[in-house]
């Protein structure tokens, strides 16, 4: 049988990455940050002047990239892009090009290849609905726009980027709308997903809720 997957989906800045990484560490499983793949394509497309609506060109670009995940660092063609892909403009471009079905198809195999024993925790928008529909546990992690904007603000400040909470709230709301309304793999809770609102939960409480749900399933 294939290695088990825990899928963690949810809107931008809901804390999916932190929670998924900690759940993976606690189980000793691998971790896949699928958003990073969309961000890598966005960064390279911005650099190459490829339009975020040009599906065929984006798919070709994605097929030619061979990102390497080394611990917390992400390398593309020998360049460390860990910080560059976190810029707000890259996230916005990523959410635009993520509406392209050809690009999503090109990234599908790459994501499925991350599945390996003893297990994988994958975070994104369509982990439970499209990429790993047979996940043993599907989590839909959400939080209020205000608390997500405040978290994203803190993260960006720590990384040396500047932004205002008001601009971030507006960007988040636009990205949520784009991710939820697109025809291809829209963001929504997978069937049977555990829906967790982390607005009033600490990181530890959220991680424990996911681990508890997993243990009840095995």
Please give the annotated binding residues for ATP, written as ranges: 10-18
CA atoms within 13 A on the CB side of 81: 24
Closest CA to 81 of 107, 122, 15, 72: 72
Query: Residue 167 has what DSSP assignment?
Result: H
Query: Residue 86 has what DSSP assignment?
Result: G
* Binding segment (CB under 6 A) for ligand C5P, from list 63-71, 88-96, 145-153, 189-197: 88-96
We find the least distance from the C-beta atom of residue 166 to ligand C5P, in angstroms, to be: 19
Is there binding between residue 124 and ligand C5P (CB under 6 A)?
yes
- The answer to whether the beta carbons of residues 150 and 165 sit under 8 Å apart is yes
Residue from 138, 148, 153, 175 binding ligand C5P (CB under 6 A): 175
Is there binding between residue 40 and ligand C5P (CB under 6 A)?
no
- Number of chain residues interacting with ligand C5P (CB under 6 A): 14
Query: Of 38 and 214, which CB lies nearer to ligand C5P in the complex structure?
Result: 38
Residue from 24, 106, 114, 179 binding ligand C5P (CB under 6 A): 179
We find the least distance from the C-beta atom of residue 215 to ligand C5P, in angstroms, to be: 25
Residue from 4, 15, 55, 91 binding ligand C5P (CB under 6 A): 91
Ordered alpha helix ranges (H), the chain: 16-27, 34-48, 55-64, 88-97, 101-112, 145-158, 165-181, 203-217
Alpha carbons 34 and 120: distance in angstroms, whole number: 12
Q: Which residues pair with 121 in a beta bridge?
A: 6, 31
Residue from 23, 121, 126, 171 binding ligand C5P (CB under 6 A): 126
Write out the residues near ligand C5P by the rule CB under 6 A.
Answer: 12, 34-35, 38-39, 91, 94-95, 98, 124-126, 175, 179
């Amino acid at each position: 049988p294939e290695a088990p997957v825990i899928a963690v989906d949810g809107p931008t800045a809901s804390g999916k990455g932190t929670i998924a990484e900690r759940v993976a560490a606690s189980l000793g499983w691998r971790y896949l940050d699928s958003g990073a793949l969309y961000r890598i394509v966005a960064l390279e497309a911005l650099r190459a002047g490829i339009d975020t609506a040009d599906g065929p060109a984006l798919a070709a670009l994605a097929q030619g990239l061979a990102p390497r995940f080394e611990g917390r660092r992400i390398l593309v063609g020998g360049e460390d892009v860990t910080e560059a892909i976190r810029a707000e403009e890259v996230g916005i471009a990523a959410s635009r090009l993520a509406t392209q079905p050809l690009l999503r198809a090109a990234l599908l195999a790459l994501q499925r290849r991350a599945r390996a024993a003893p297990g994988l925790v994958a975070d994104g928008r369509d982990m439970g609905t499209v990429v790993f529909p047979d996940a043993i546990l599907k989590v839909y992690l959400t939080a209020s726009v205000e608390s997500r904007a405040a978290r994203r603000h803190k993260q960006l400040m720590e990384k040396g980027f500047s932004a205002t909470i008001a601009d971030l709230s507006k960007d988040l709301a636009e990205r949520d709308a784009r991710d939820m309304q697109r025809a291809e793999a829209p963001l929504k809770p997978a069937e049977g997903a555990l829906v967790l609102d982390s607005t009033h939960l600490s990181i530890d409480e959220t991680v424990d809720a996911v681990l508890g749900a997993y243990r009840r399933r095995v």
